[in-house]
Homo-oligomer: A and B are copies of this chain.
Amino acid sequence: MSEQSYEAALAKEEASLLQQISAIEKRIEEIDFAQETSAVNFPPNIQAKLHALRKIQLDIVDREVNFHLKAHAMEVEYQAEFKECHQMIARIVNGEDVSDLVEQDATTNDVADQPSGVPNFWLTVLKASFLDGVVQEQDEPALQQLRDIRCVLLNDPEPGFELLFEFASNDYFTNEVLTKQYFLSCAPNVEAPSKFNGFEIYRCVGCKIDWKPEHDLTKDPGMNSFFSFFEPENIAEVGTNCGVMMMECDFEYGYYIKETLIPRAVFLFLGENPELGDSKAMCTCNRCLYIDCLDHITTYPEPPAEEEIEDGEQEEDEPEKQVLSASSE
């Protein structure tokens, strides 16, 4: 066999192999597709159309991703609109000069009578909210020093938001601001694109609290603390199932603070619309085990049994009670 014909034979064999591989790939794709749609059996002459329809469906999902990204970018731009309101609230709450904001009334508002600002504003807001059960008695002196809770929407390097808790100087830690960042993903799961539903929190990062000596409120493993919220890394240490649930709850808290606690803080403080503090309306995870799990953070022997997790009825009705009972055990 000449070198040329040998090369030609090789090239032909290669082409044939490539063709076979392509056929196998196509067959795998067909099997995958048939499995995906196993619930319904379609005659083969409809399959090509369904293939095409499914491609368009996936294209719709991709376009929705773009829409959500654009909407988030718009929200990021729009936050300046709300910033000045939140700054005014902070000025009043912290007793800064607010003569331009507060109408003075000589009889009831004698300047000498005025306390500085609105004492315990943010602690009261927290306790009127869905996070009530997370605030422990021993956390309160530190939380009385809360000057502001803010949210900053981020788009760069990735979509997300940062919660900032600003504190006056206190006996517990030296940080002026405690932060928690939440990162959002907006992409369909390739294995289950039909479940795509816009942005989802997928990761959060806390901050290191510089505790003053003998004042670490999160140190005692037998005691829960609101400040564990800034240590989400600890959740990763908990057994997988329980860790995932706690993460879901943590994400619910973060989302609630961004969407309700901050923009409705005054209504929460005033006790208007108790539903704002109602976890029933907010928590879609139905498994508020966050504090329950934190309680056992070092001792949890096994993830809880499946029926315990799924039995969400009562938890949904009385989550605060459940959370509180965890701390009184």
A interface residues, Cβ below 8 angstroms from B: 36-37, 39-40, 44-54, 56-57, 59-60, 63-64, 66-67, 70-71, 74-75, 78, 81-82, 85-86, 88-89, 92-93, 98, 101-105, 108-110, 113-115, 117-118, 192-195, 263-267, 269-276, 313
Q: In the complex, how many angstroms separate the beta carbon of A299 from the nearest chain B beta carbon? A: 34
Q: Chain A: interface secondary structure?
A: helix
Q: Are A118 and B78 neighbours in the complex by a CB distance under 8 Å? A: no
Q: Which residues from chain B contact A86 at a C-beta distance below 8 Å?
A: 60
Q: Are B272 and A113 neighbours in the complex by a CB distance under 8 Å? A: no
Q: Which residues from chain B contact A81 at a C-beta distance below 8 Å?
A: 63, 66-67
CB-based nearest B residue for A118: B49
Q: How far, in whole Å, are A66 and B304 apart by their CA atoms in the complex?
A: 46
- 23 A-B pairs with CB atoms under 8 Å apart are A36-B270, A37-B270, A37-B271, A40-B269, A44-B108, A45-B109, A45-B110, A47-B108, A47-B109, A48-B105, A50-B118, A53-B118, A56-B89, A56-B92, A57-B89, A57-B264, A57-B265, A57-B266, A67-B75, A192-B273, A193-B267, A195-B275, A313-B313
Q: Are A103 and B264 neighbours in the complex by a CB distance under 8 Å? A: no
Q: In the complex, how many angstroms separate the beta carbon of A77 from the nearest chain B beta carbon? A: 10
